[in-house]
A and B are shown apart, each in its own frame.
Chain A
Amino acid sequence: MATLENKLEIIQPPLPPGPLKWVKENLFSGFFNTLMTIVLFPVISITLFLVLKWVFLGADWRAVTQFPMLYTVGQYPRDQIWRVGIVLSSILLFLGISWGKWGGLLRTISFTAGLVFIIMALLPVQHPQLTLGMRSYLGSNALIILVGYFIGRIKAVKDIYIVIGWLLIPFFGIVLLAGIGNSSILPSVPTTLWGGLLVTFLLAAGGIFLSFPLGVALALGRRSSLPVVSAFSTIFIEMIRGVPLVTILFMFSIILALFLPPESRIDRLVRALMAVTVFSAAYTAENVRGGLQAVPLGQIEAAKALGMGNLKTKIFIELPQALRAVLPSIVGQFISLFKDTTLVVIIGINDFLGIGRSIINSDPEFVQLRMEVYIFMALVYWVFSYFMSLASRRLEAAMGLSDTL
């Protein structure tokens, strides 16, 4: 028995190094390493100290904290603000339902969102815009996610209902936000009043929602055996990819109107959305094309042998495999789409960055506080895109893609 125990000990994996050993291996393993640590440690400590001192004592965050509403919804009429609230809550409800149904990554997202809302509701600060009503709305959003979770657990709620719900939300949301004509319940709110995070998310989500199918279609078009379709798709993709996004934005905001009948008026925000969509679609198309090329020919031949038609082969055999393989790069593309929405500032749309700029320029006092405002902006963009990339890594790991790509 003794020998057996010995053997068991031998096959145990090595213990993780203790803290002292870790320090020795990672900070003092050689002459240069030690020298580097000795030089860097004080530099980092001093920098960190100065930054923290500035954040908590030196900086004046008034220009950031004074206008939470302006940063989130821009000039959206304050008496109509409940519409934005309903759209947000319904998205959260569906997030909760999806969590209840599918779990996994959605659980983490739901938890994070719920936690953020609870923290916002309980912020221990006095703020004129953080009224009791606002606090209870924020708090109830966390509850809505939980309610959604229990709805999602109900067996009768089928997957397809949730998918349809997600597809309907954008239309429902746009109608609610934009309003219908002169009705008294939903007076129309011109998009010039929309702003802040609302516009940023609208452009990003709308761009993702619309550019994905367009991108897939362009990728299929480029690989099509029909010369006209393939040539058109190729020219389209390469033209868009060859010029900067600013050019596309200006094209849609200035040039497009010249090629449409004079009486047609397309909303400014819609034009920006079109530009972002077209731009992102060209890049998505190239990503998808890479995935399509990676699908083994045998798969397609097998589908043909089973008597599947051209369209069926594409939809059921080629695309699922291609999209699965290129999921990480598509998510990466969406993250850069989110960052690229800031460019609409240049054509005069007040997205999150635009609101920050107009707050700075609204008051000479705030011009002095621009550092705080821009650092706040950078932080907000950073948090969103960093967590998007974190989520995409988790998704890759869950799909078993992290090794192959």
Chain B
Amino acid sequence: MTNDHPAVRSKTNIPFYRDERILQIFAQVVSTVVIIGILIWAIINFFRAAEARNMTLTFGFLKDSAGFPISNPPIAYEPVMSTGRAFLVGLVNTLMVSGLGIVFAVILGTLIALARLSSNWLLSRIALIYIEFHRNIPLLVLLFIWYFVVFGMVPPVQESIIWPGPTFVNKRGVYLSWPRLTETGSIFMISIAIGLLLATIAYSMLRKRRKITGKETYYIPASLGLLIISFIVGWLLSGGTPFQIDSPYLDGFNYQGGLRLTPEFAGMFISLSMYTGAFIAEVIRGGIQAVDRGQIEAARAVGLSPLQVLSLVIMPQALRIIIPPMISQFLNLTKNSSLALAIGFQEVFSVGKIAINQAGRAVPVFAMIMITYLSLSLLTSFILNIYNRRIQFVLR
């Protein structure tokens, strides 16, 4: 009889199509069925197509000989080597162009951000024009301008442009003089590495002690001194010749020696770093401008020098804002390096593209390309997120 009470009755009588718990389960089941259904349908289609076209689904072909040439491989490579090796060459190219690109984009971006914030109207306008130009044109157009127009205008080998260095610029690329390690060079490098390690340890230990005791421990001169000592010791141990400048020289119809940047690499690298540099400049400018003006005025009022204001007050606060969008710019740059396909610089994607053209490997090759980029993205953001967390933590 108590069930006839209106309140209780209304509770039990909710129709099932309005009961949220049932609806949730229902939605869950429906979405699962739909997603799995589509996947199964696609896979069935795929197996049919695979059978009809005699496609491989395994990664066995990685051991087969690649059979296609790669121009200017950064590591030893011949067409008779395995397809896996060809991928590795592509990966090294991707890493090289994006790693160098990131370094230069940051340098360029910082300089442009500083120019943009300059009190000189002309300088700040130039920076603004640079930023607005690069942010509003497609990267591919910029790449074509650099590769086809600028590098298309350089003279042939016999009439190379000669810059100090000596550096030679011609149709076949940019030839730089480059220091190369001699036989005793490894001793020098080991010595520097040990010095760097000792200097880092000394820096952190002395700095910590200074923070605890408040006594001056001269941690900067001490660590710098260690570095200089290791440099001198290494220099002496290696007999004074750890390096040899390897200059390019004309040999017949071609330059030999030195460091050669192919037009493809140079075009890709320059356009990537100039394009991303403009975005990074805006990120840095935004971060610096976000620091409260009162902070800067207060720092000046307590007598910090302009350099101290920048390094102790502005940068630590600005970095917190700068780092996250900077990470996404680095990732963008890495992903954008795949545009190299358009100018024939052979990085992961271009190598994969050639490998696809060889009989029915489309799916495994594609899986490899995607996994490569995904793991590069995840790795980069993982490392930088750790750094980011440290910065945020220290400051709060």
A and B interact: yes
Report B129-147 CB contacts with A as 1/0, cut-off 8 Å.
0001101111111101100
B148 at the interface (CB under 8 A from A): yes
B330 at the interface (CB under 8 A from A): no
The complex places the Cα of A298 from the Cα of B30 at a distance, in Å, of 31
A13 at the interface (CB under 8 A from B): no
The complex places the Cα of A33 from the Cα of B121 at a distance, in Å, of 9
Contact A378 B142 (CB under 8 A): yes
Report A134-167 CB contacts with B as 1/0, cut-off 8 Å.
0000000000000000000000000000000000
Report A21-55 CB contacts with B as 1/0, cut-off 8 Å.
00000110110110011001100100000000000
Given A262-B52, A385-B137, verify A239-B374 contact (CB < 8 Å). yes
Which A residue sits closest to B122, measured CB to CB? A40
| Residue in B133, B152, B374 whose beta carbon sits within 8 Å of that of A370 in the complex | B152
Q: B residues within 8 A CB of A30?
A: 119
Contact B370 A239 (CB under 8 A): yes
Q: A residues within 8 A CB of B349?
A: 244, 246-247
Size class of the A contact interface (CB-based, 8 Å): 35 or more
Contact B373 A40 (CB under 8 A): no
The complex places the Cα of A385 from the Cα of B133 at a distance, in Å, of 10
Contact B46 A228 (CB under 8 A): no
| Residue in A29, A32, A247, A375 whose beta carbon sits within 8 Å of that of B370 in the complex | A247
The complex places the Cα of A239 from the Cα of B374 at a distance, in Å, of 7
Contact A242 B377 (CB under 8 A): yes
Contact B120 A247 (CB under 8 A): no
Contact A243 B370 (CB under 8 A): yes
Report B58-69 CB contacts with A as 1/0, cut-off 8 Å.
000000000000
Contact B136 A381 (CB under 8 A): yes
Contact B28 A226 (CB under 8 A): yes
Q: B residues within 8 A CB of A382?
A: 133, 136-137
Q: B residues within 8 A CB of A26?
A: 119-121
Q: A residues within 8 A CB of B55?
A: 258
B222 at the interface (CB under 8 A from A): no
Task: Choose the segment among B184-192, B235-243, B336-344 that binds chain A (4+ C-beta atoms closer than 8 Å).
Answer: B336-344
The complex places the Cα of A335 from the Cα of B362 at a distance, in Å, of 32
Given A229-B31, A255-B363, verify A381-B137 contact (CB < 8 Å). yes
The complex places the Cα of A260 from the Cα of B47 at a distance, in Å, of 10
Report B24-58 CB contacts with A as 1/0, cut-off 8 Å.
10011001100100000011011011101001000
Q: A residues within 8 A CB of B374?
A: 239, 242-243
Q: B residues within 8 A CB of A346?
A: 339, 341-342
The complex places the Cα of A377 from the Cα of B378 at a distance, in Å, of 35
- In angstroms, how far is the closest chain A Cβ from the Cβ of B359? 14
Q: A residues within 8 A CB of B145?
A: 374-375, 378
Contact A247 B119 (CB under 8 A): no
Given A36-B120, A40-B122, verify A339-B138 contact (CB < 8 Å). yes
- In angstroms, how far is the closest chain B Cβ from the Cβ of A375? 7
| Residue in A226, A241, A345 whose beta carbon sits within 8 Å of that of B140 in the complex | A345
Q: A residues within 8 A CB of B137?
A: 339, 378, 381-382, 385
B126 at the interface (CB under 8 A from A): yes
| Residue in A40, A243, A246 whose beta carbon sits within 8 Å of that of B339 in the complex | A246
The number of residues on chain B lying at the interface, defined by a beta carbon within 8 Å of a beta carbon of chain A, is: 57
- In angstroms, how far is the closest chain B Cβ from the Cβ of A390? 10
A184 at the interface (CB under 8 A from B): no
Contact B32 A261 (CB under 8 A): no
Contact B120 A37 (CB under 8 A): yes
Contact B52 A226 (CB under 8 A): no
- In angstroms, how far is the closest chain A Cβ from the Cβ of B95? 15
Given A228-B32, A242-B378, A258-B50, verify A247-B338 contact (CB < 8 Å). yes
B96 at the interface (CB under 8 A from A): no
- In angstroms, how far is the closest chain B Cβ from the Cβ of A51? 12
The complex places the Cα of A339 from the Cα of B369 at a distance, in Å, of 24
Q: A residues within 8 A CB of B356?
A: 254
- In angstroms, how far is the closest chain A Cβ from the Cβ of B156? 16
Contact A41 B341 (CB under 8 A): no
Which A residue sits closest to B146, measured CB to CB? A374
A169 at the interface (CB under 8 A from B): no
Report A374-405 CB contacts with B as 1/0, cut-off 8 Å.
11011001100110010000000000000000
The complex places the Cα of A374 from the Cα of B139 at a distance, in Å, of 12
Q: B residues within 8 A CB of A260?
A: 42, 45
Contact B120 A370 (CB under 8 A): no
B353 at the interface (CB under 8 A from A): yes
Q: A residues within 8 A CB of B48?
A: 262
Contact B31 A232 (CB under 8 A): yes
Known: A26-B119, A36-B120, A227-B28. 8 other contacts (CB 8 A): A36-B122, A247-B366, A255-B363, A259-B43, A343-B339, A346-B342, A374-B149, A378-B145
Tell me the B residues contacting A by CB distance below 8 Å. Answer: 20, 24, 27-28, 31-32, 35, 42-43, 45-46, 48-50, 52, 55, 118-123, 126, 132-133, 135-142, 144-145, 148-149, 152-153, 335-336, 338-339, 341-342, 349, 353, 356, 362-363, 366, 369-370, 373-374, 377-378
Q: Which 3 A-B pairs have the closest CB atoms?
A: A26-B121, A244-B335, A259-B42
